[in-house]
Amino acid sequence: MKGFGFYKSKKYLQRVLSSIMLSMVIVLLASSFANTYLLENSVKRIQEDSNLKILTQMQYNFSYMNEIITHLSYFVFKDNLLIPLMYDESLPKMDLIRSYQRMSSILESSSFLHSMVVYNYSQNEIYGTTSNFLLDGGVTKKKISDWLLDPSVSHETSRLIPVSLDREDGEIDAFAFVVTNSLKPFTRNESAIILYIKSDWVFDSLKKMNDTGSRSQGDILMSDQGGRLYSSRKLDEYASKSTQERIHSYIEAHKLATSEPSGFVIGNFEHQKSMITYMADPIPNWTILYVQSYDKLMAVVTQTRTKSLIVSGAMLLIAIGISLWLSYKLYHPIEDMLQRIRFQHPREGNTRQTEDDELHAMSEEYSKLSHTLHEISSEHIVNKYYIRKFMTDGQMFSHHDMISLIKKHRLNIAYPAEILVCVLRLDHFQSYASHTALPLKKMHSFAITNIAQEMMSQLHPCETVEVWGDHVVLIVSLNETGVTDSYQEIRPVLQDIQNTIEAFYGLSLSCGISDRISQLTQLSAGYTQAYQNSLYSVIFGYKSIISSEQVQVNNANKRVSIPETIERKLAESLKKGMMTEAGVELEKAFSLFATYHYHDIQRAVTNLAWVIQYTVAEIMENRVTKMSFNVDYIHHIPQEKETLEEMYVSLLALCTQICDGQKPSNVERNDMILETVKELIHQKFADFNLSQQSIASTVKLSSAYLGRLFKDSYQCTITEYMNEVRLQHAQFLLENGDHAVLDIMEKCGYTNPSYFFRLFKGKFGSTPKEYRMKKSIS
């Protein structure tokens, strides 16, 4: 009861418990019904496949029977001894006797024949062979005649038709097979032979299949076109006409819906649900049926469903126990939190209980804490606002105002202690700004600000604030005035801050330190000085810590450009391709840049880039081939690189490419000459006057030099190459035209037939005529 009271008093716990229990109940029930549904479908599919296999075997047996009967009917109808019996108007006694003897021999040779009847239209007479037909005073003859010649009934030919010959109750005891001279339905205006097949022979397959298993497995039946059912034994449950019509309607509807000759349907008749598997036309106009009780068939499924519900019930009881345990485990942290809240903020006895559940109490406490945090956050924003104002617009405040604001907002700035301003600036800021998402930038800013303040506050009072997004400012209050080694004291702390930020966030920070400030109103000037010092990381490199003493020479330097002698010598070295001299001049230039003021460094490097570009442009004007690098990239170097070392390396690599391009171009010149010679030969091979001397005259070179150059490059003479081109063209004309051989010789630039024939045979192994004849044959 105590446990029940605990759960009853916890509204949120009740919701958790009920949700878990309901989910488990739904899952278990759904799983149980899904399993039984899948099992039922699986049993139906398996049963259908099994039934269709049985019916397929029976279809094969019936088809074989029908084929035997059809062959026999064809043989009988063409029998010369029976033809007179069918067609003669007057039949001699000997012919009649021979015909009867023939019918008797046919009956004796065919064990499945019950009897045989011949109808003679000319005589309007029926002849039969059985003893009943001959000795019962015409009763059997009249029955056959009434059935056969009934004008209201149309008998299909070459089809098994159920009839009753000997039985008086109307049940079939034979199948009639009518054979005429045409395939149209039989009429009394034509002669015919009627073969009566024993019903046992047709139903033998049904009987064997029905007798192989118990009655609970189902019944195998046959159905004619009208839906009447037949079996090897009398089955009262299928005897009524309404039952037969209902089964027939089920099958016809399924055939119409599926357009398949076989399948299975489930229906109700005689107050029983049954599964009917059917296969149409094993014998023309007949259908085989396999009827099974659905309840007996699904007995295993019903048992399985019952067992599944029992198991689900047991599992449900287990699930309730698990739900109680799991809900308490999930609720336990909430209970602990509630106890802590009540311990910290005990409610008064007269306080009105307004909460809906346990979470409402925490919601109230959260609202109070949120309000408190909002007040703290607002105060923090105001503090950072005034710190930024002190640094950027310090002239707006008097000394007295600044002291009042520091006291009012409890800023961690000591006075009258001396102050140092440190600026931590992000290296590679352009790349960082373009590739970093805004939420990550805010997180980095928050981390740098807090880590820097926490680490520096261990040594000196410190305030930090982010400015412009690319740097963080530290206002460090020195503990003692007159300390001369304050830079050396805080430098290790700044290095630790840099290493920590790089280790955790992969960010590199350069630091600038201002001079010591004794007046609060000088904070703005100290910030400007520290920021300017941080920019000199272009000289000292990434993660440098720079004070005013280190850049004193740079700030005092008034030079804004490099001497003209360095520019001139650098240009001359590049034009001559002398990389060593160009590297020396480039190193001199960057040595001077390291002494410039920050604002002049960028300008000087840009001017040097222009000098290199002008030199490259001048070189390219006098070259035949273009250089393989992009000249416009030179201007991006001062903007993309943030340190002098990176700029120097990039420009040095560029100068190396320029000097490599200035190497002697004899190889290029020779290649151009040889390509020109080959082009001339391909264009003018039909010219009789084309020769090595004429080509040398065209390219303005001596014949001997040109011949030696060509032979060294291609291991053949110009004349040999010329003959090669001419003979290839001659080969093409022989294969693709009907020109005379002498015309082809002239078109290829030859004037001497014997010379042309000798060259052609030397290359192709046959004369031009033989070559053409061989190609035309092949």
Q: What is the CATH number of the domain that holds 763?
A: 1.10.10.60
Beta-carbon count within 10 A of 349 CB: 5
Number of domains in the chain: 5
- Cross-sheet strand order for the sheet of 272-280: 229-230, 219-223, 287-293, 272-280, 262-269
Whether residue 573 lies inside any domain: the answer is yes
Look at residue 214 in the predicted model and tell me its pLDDT. 46
Task: Tell me the three state secondary structure of residue 119.
Answer: strand
Instruction: Look at residue 435 and tell me whether its pLDDT is greater than 80.
Output: yes
Phi, psi of 280 (to 5 degrees): -85, 150
Beta carbons within 8 Å of 366's beta carbon, 6+ residues apart: none
Roughly what angle, to the nearest 10 degrees, separates helices 718-736 and 666-684? Answer: 40
Is 773 inside any structural domain?
A: yes
CATH of the domain at 408: 3.30.70.270
Residues 134 and 218 in one domain: no
pLDDT at 215 over 50: no
> For 666, left (φ over 0), alpha (ψ -120 to 50), or beta?
alpha
Q: Which helix (H) or strand (E) holds 609?
A: helix 598-621
Answer yes or no: do 413 and 544 share one domain: yes
Final residue of a domain: which of 265, 297, 329? 297
Residue 137 covered by a domain: yes
Could you tell me what percentage of the chain is helix, strand and coil, using 3-state DSSP and rounding each to the nearest 5?
A: 65, 10, 25
Neighbours of 147 (CB within 10 A): 16
Task: Give Cα separations from 572 to 142, 301, 549, 616 (angstroms).
Answer: 137, 100, 38, 11
111 or 349, which is more confident: 111
Residue 309 in any domain: the answer is no
Mean pLDDT value of segment 376-383: 58
344-348: Cβ within 8 A, 24+ apart: none
* Rounded-to-integer distance, Cα 125 and Cα 585, Å: 137
Residue 416 lies in a domain: yes
Helix (H) / strand (E) element for 287: namely strand 287-293
Give the domain-ending residue among 280, 297, 314: 297
The answer on 546 and 621 residing in a single domain is no
**522 or 632, greater pLDDT:** 522
Domain residues for the domain of 501 are 375-555
- In this predicted structure, which of 99-113, 335-349, 478-492, 698-712 has the lowest mean pLDDT? 335-349
Confidence of residue 639 (pLDDT cuts 50, 70, 90): confident
**So what's the pLDDT on residue 511?**
94
Report the pLDDT value the prediction gives residue 623, as an integer from 0 to 100.
61
Residue 726 has pLDDT above 80, yes or no: yes
For residue 286, tell me if it sits in a domain. Answer: yes
Among 255-264, 314-323, 538-547, the range with the most confident prediction by mean pLDDT is 538-547
Which structure tokens are listed for 596? 């410039």
Q: Indicate which CATH number applies to the domain containing 255.
A: 3.30.450.20
User: Taking 60 as the threshold, does the pLDDT of residue 757 lie above it?
Assistant: yes
Confidence of residue 2 (pLDDT cuts 50, 70, 90): very low
In a domain, 659, yes or no: yes
pTM (2 d.p.): 0.43
Give the containing element (helix H, strand E) for 423. Answer: strand 419-426
Radius of gyration of the chain (CA): 57
- Whether 178 maps to a domain, the answer reads yes
Are 641 and 703 contained in the same domain? Answer: no
576-594 pLDDT per residue, tens: 778 888 888 888 888 888 8
More confident residue, 225 or 773: 773
Domain boundary, last residue among 614, 640, 663 = 663
- Categorize the per-residue pLDDT at 367 as very low, low, confident or very high, splitting at 50, 70 and 90: low
Peptide bond into 416 cis (omega under 30): yes
Identify whether residues 486 and 561 lie together within a single domain: no
- Looking up residue 172, the CATH number of its domain turns out to be 3.30.450
Residue showing tokens 């019509």: 245
What is the full DSSP assignment across 390-418?
A: HHHSGGGS-HHHHHHHHHHTT-S--SSS-
Residue with tokens 């346990």: 358
pLDDT at 508: 92
Residues 384 and 519 in one domain: yes
Give percent of the chain with pLDDT exceeding 90: 5
User: Same domain, yes or no, for 584 and 708?
Assistant: no
Enumerate residues 6+ apart whose C-beta is below 8 A from 6.
none
Which range is least confidently modeled, 34-38, 135-139, 356-360, 736-740? Answer: 356-360
Contacts of 21 (CB under 8 A, 6+ apart): 319, 320, 323
Highest mean predicted confidence (pLDDT) among 45-49, 99-103, 411-415, 640-644:
99-103
Angle at which helix 718-736 crosses helix 768-777, to 10 degrees, equals: 40
Q: Are 191 and 119 in contact (CB under 8 A)?
A: yes
Structure tokens at 439: 């939420």
E strand segments, 478-585: 509-513, 545-546
Residues 604 and 632 in one domain: yes
Structure tokens at 610: 């222009």
Report the percentage of the chain scoring pLDDT > 70: 83
Instruction: Give the pLDDT score at 268.
Output: 81
For position 1, what pLDDT does the model report? 42
Question: What is the predicted pLDDT for the residue at 512?
Answer: 92
Q: How confident is the model at residue 556 (pLDDT cuts 50, 70, 90)?
A: confident
Q: Are 195 and 176 in contact (CB under 8 A)?
A: yes
Average model confidence (pLDDT) across the chain: 79
Q: Are residues 539 and 454 in the same domain?
A: yes
Q: Using one digit for the tens of pLDDT, what is the confidence trace for 274-312?
A: 888 888 777 777 788 888 877 777 777 777 777 777 887
- Kindly state whether residues 599 and 716 are assigned to the same domain: no
Considering the domain architecture, whether residues 409 and 476 belong to the same structural domain is answered as yes
Q: pLDDT per residue over 662-716, tens digit each?
A: 655 555 667 778 888 888 888 888 888 888 898 888 888 888 888 888 888 888 9
Task: Based on the fold, state whether residues 380 and 517 are members of the same structural domain.
Answer: yes
